[in-house]
Chains A and B, each alone.
Chain A
Amino acid sequence: MRNVWLIARREYLERIHTKAFLVSLVGFPLIMAAVILGPMVLAKSSGHEKHIVVVASDLALARPIAQELEAPVNNDPNVEAAERPKFYVTMEEPAPELKEHLTRDVQQKSLDGFLWLDHADGILRADYYSNSSEDFELADVLETAVQHAQASEQLLAGGMPASQVQSLFNAHVEMRKVEGGKDVGGISTFGSSMFLIMMLYIAILVQGVAVGNSVVEEKTSRIFEIMLATVTPQEMMSGKLLGVGAIGLTQVALWMLCGVLLAAPGLLGARAAGQYAFHLSPLHAMAFAVCFILGFLFYSALSAMLGSLVNSTQELQQLNMFMGMPLAFSIVLSQQVISNPSSTLSILLSMLPPCAPILMYLRISVLTPPLWQIALSLALMLAGVWGVVWLASRIYRVGVLMYGKRPTLPELMRWLRYS
């Protein structure tokens, strides 16, 4: 045990002093901050009013649209205030060559866009012409405005008082999450869940790969020859996993601290309750740590095994690609799991040890799965970790002293049986 501790400490101290650690420590939060703050800064700097033209034969329809665009009636005040573009709207009636004229204006950027409304057979058709067809947020805003205008036109025509019509559109649904029987807040968990699983993914992958690399390095520098004269390969591997794992935990803990600071009121006040708000209860932090540790052990043991099989980091990189696939797969599927966390697919995936660290954590963070599912997933993860560590340590102890060509599969099977 003393040897394991000595090796783990060496590993930890060496790593914590490297530039790579510092860079990742500072770099990741910087990127995250850029992701969070970037749109705000951009929104502010491009905060000029959008000049658009609403073209409709019926001004009674165009006017409420213009009014709503210039002064929104409803919606979440927090988000809208910061995010919604401001509009300056003029109205026109259709005329010959008006479309060509406006198109030219849009092209020359003297106009941001124009909304063309057309009644055909009692159905309203609305087209928005601008330099970009991909502004989904704007599409949302325009759609709401048109719908509201259409509805209020009909309601007013039907004799409903204007004030009543206005109040109709003030409904707003706020997403709140229940956790452990308590209402933990009115925030969208989507952003913070994505943020956290990305962090989990990066931490597991980066630290897992680090283990493999350092095994290759020790192998090529022949350090094993001297170390194995006094410690067992198992002790070396456990020490390495512990040391690198501790680095990973340190890194994640510091990242989280940054996250919490970033989300603190004052710094990000306007966005505190917004989409990207960083929400992490102690329970979640624990789940995160457990998922990181189990995922890290699973992948780093695999990585240590691969590292012991090859003779250069280049060779290792090729193998790492395959190793990381289940993790990448989990990230790809995360959208599906977020939108449908209790589907059979989601449940099954969150039970598979290679995917469980990410997907089970994701399910825990978007809803609270039944206890038995969490327990089963944990048990399977532990079993998976045990299996991988067993396999890896048997391959590792032979592999680290073998140089030259990479072993074939039958050779590996024989290694498993060596005493």
Chain B
Amino acid sequence: MNLVELDRISKAYDTKIAVHELSLAIEAGKMFGLLGPNGAGKTSTIRMMIGMTLPDSGTVTLFGQPFTRKSLYRVGYLPEERGLYKKMKVLDQLVLLGQLHGLKATQAEDRARRWCERLEIAGSLDKKTEELSKGMQQKIQFIAAILHDPELLIMDEPFSGLDPVNAAMLQDVLVELKNKGKAVLFSTHRMDQVEKLCDSICLVHQGDAVLTGTVREIKSRYPKNRLRVRYEGDAAFLSHPSIAEARQSNGTAEIRLRDGADPQQVLAAAMAKARVTYFDVMEPTLEEIFIETVGGKANA
């Protein structure tokens, strides 16, 4: 079931078009990556998704019905720009945000305590936000977003500024929630994270959705034209006519093939002159696809 459906939504601020006829759908139990460089229209899209702004045209459907503010009780949002009340105690803050999402005060307090323990920040419950480190504040805000057990989680750059240990901790929670059937929208410009975590993506560039689909399907659309070869001996095979470009160091070569070339021929040529210890036909990374897609657009 689709928890979110955006149908050709557009938004313009004065003369600048922030989002242009963007459509996407997010399923329950999946992690969805909203990708794009800074200023591509990711945040504008998210703001329309949760009714912070209204689209100039197009429709937003949440949980199978047209957008109503009641639906927001079922959405958790971690904004890119982090912000908490500085003078407020962490626990009070979490309880308030829980209440604003429809929880009872006692319920919110209970869950806040449990999550803080799980994320190893129980010690700061009675501190004021301004006394906490940035990473801790981020965890607090992460908890605020998931406190009311939302079905749809919107995470805008959730790991930025976190050390690897803490980033992994939050990532585990997100995967766990996804496996429980929540939908996670993951907005970022870090392609490597998306590649690991997301099932589907939407690539946004200058307000347009330039690529949508599952990660698998998108990758299969692009030819597997990159090889990694480790070898001992003569490197003369690197001048094979199928090879468009090759870089080598320490007996490892990264090769880009010409369009339509067969990797097997390169392998045969290599084996003829050298001893091949490793041969891999690599999938394009999202980053490469991104650069190719966006670069192509820019040139067109």
Please state if A401 and B52 are interface contacts (CB–CB under 8 Å).
yes
Please state if B77 and A229 are interface contacts (CB–CB under 8 Å).
yes
> Shortest Cβ distance from B223 into chain A, in angstroms?
41
Most central of A14, A225, A411 by chain B CB within 10 Å: A225
User: Which A residues are in CB contact (< 8 Å) with B84?
Assistant: 221, 223, 226
Interface membership of B54, Cβ < 8 A: yes
Identify the closest chain A residue to B54 (Cβ).
A419
Please state if A226 and B97 are interface contacts (CB–CB under 8 Å).
yes
- In A221-261, which residues have CB < 8 Å from any B CB? 221-232
Please state if B69 and A14 are interface contacts (CB–CB under 8 Å).
no
Please state if B82 and A222 are interface contacts (CB–CB under 8 Å).
yes
Please state if B52 and A228 are interface contacts (CB–CB under 8 Å).
yes
- In B82-117, which residues have CB < 8 Å from any A CB? 82-88, 96-97, 99-101
Chain A residues with CB under 8 Å of chain B are 2-3, 6, 10, 14, 218, 221-232, 401, 411, 414, 419
Please state if A230 and B83 are interface contacts (CB–CB under 8 Å).
no
Q: Mark B52-96, 1 if CB is under 8 A from A, else 0.
A: 111000000000000001001101010111111111100000001
Assembly CA distance A395 to B141 (angstroms): 28
Partner of B50, one of A2, A224, A229, A419: A229
Please state if B52 and A3 are interface contacts (CB–CB under 8 Å).
no
User: Which B residues are in CB contact (< 8 Å) with A232?
Assistant: 69
Partner of A229, one of B14, B54, B79, B88: B79
Identify the closest chain B residue to A402 (Cβ).
B13
Please state if B96 and A221 are interface contacts (CB–CB under 8 Å).
no
User: Which A residues are in CB contact (< 8 Å) with B88?
Assistant: 10, 14
> Shortest Cβ distance from A193 into chain B, in angstroms?
38
> Shortest Cβ distance from A243 into chain B, in angstroms?
12
> Shortest Cβ distance from A241 into chain B, in angstroms?
18
Please state if B54 and A225 are interface contacts (CB–CB under 8 Å).
no
Assembly CA distance A227 to B14 (angstroms): 25
Assembly CA distance A319 to B85 (angstroms): 25
User: Which B residues are in CB contact (< 8 Å) with A221?
Assistant: 83-86
Assembly CA distance A226 to B94 (angstroms): 12
Partner of A226, one of B54, B69, B72, B83: B83
> Shortest Cβ distance from B134 into chain A, in angstroms?
13
User: Which A residues are in CB contact (< 8 Å) with B69?
Assistant: 232
Partner of B96, one of A10, A225, A228, A419: A10
Identify the closest chain A residue to B73 (Cβ).
A230
User: Which B residues are in CB contact (< 8 Å) with A401?
Assistant: 47, 52-53
Please state if A229 and B141 are interface contacts (CB–CB under 8 Å).
no
Interface membership of B144, Cβ < 8 A: yes
Please state if A222 and B79 are interface contacts (CB–CB under 8 Å).
yes
Assembly CA distance A3 to B100 (angstroms): 6
Please state if B54 and A230 are interface contacts (CB–CB under 8 Å).
no
Identify the closest chain A residue to B141 (Cβ).
A226
The answer to whether A229 and B72 touch (CB under 8 A), given A6-B96, A411-B14, A414-B14, is: yes
- A223-B85, A229-B75, A230-B73 are known contacts; what are 14 more A-B pairs with Cβ within 8 Å? A6-B96, A6-B100, A10-B96, A14-B88, A221-B84, A222-B82, A222-B83, A223-B83, A226-B77, A226-B79, A226-B83, A228-B52, A229-B72, A230-B97
Identify the closest chain B residue to A17 (Cβ).
B87
Assembly CA distance A223 to B88 (angstroms): 12
User: Which B residues are in CB contact (< 8 Å) with A218?
Assistant: 83
Please state if A225 and B101 are interface contacts (CB–CB under 8 Å).
no
Identify the closest chain B residue to A15 (Cβ).
B87
Assembly CA distance A231 to B50 (angstroms): 11
Partner of A231, one of B81, B82, B100: B100
User: Which B residues are in CB contact (< 8 Å) with A3?
Assistant: 100
Assembly CA distance A305 to B97 (angstroms): 24
Interchain residue pairs with CB less than 8 A apart (22): A2-B99, A6-B100, A10-B88, A14-B85, A14-B88, A218-B83, A221-B86, A222-B79, A222-B83, A223-B84, A225-B79, A226-B77, A226-B79, A226-B83, A226-B144, A227-B100, A229-B50, A229-B77, A230-B73, A230-B97, A232-B69, A401-B47
Identify the closest chain B residue to A223 (Cβ).
B83
Assembly CA distance A218 to B88 (angstroms): 12
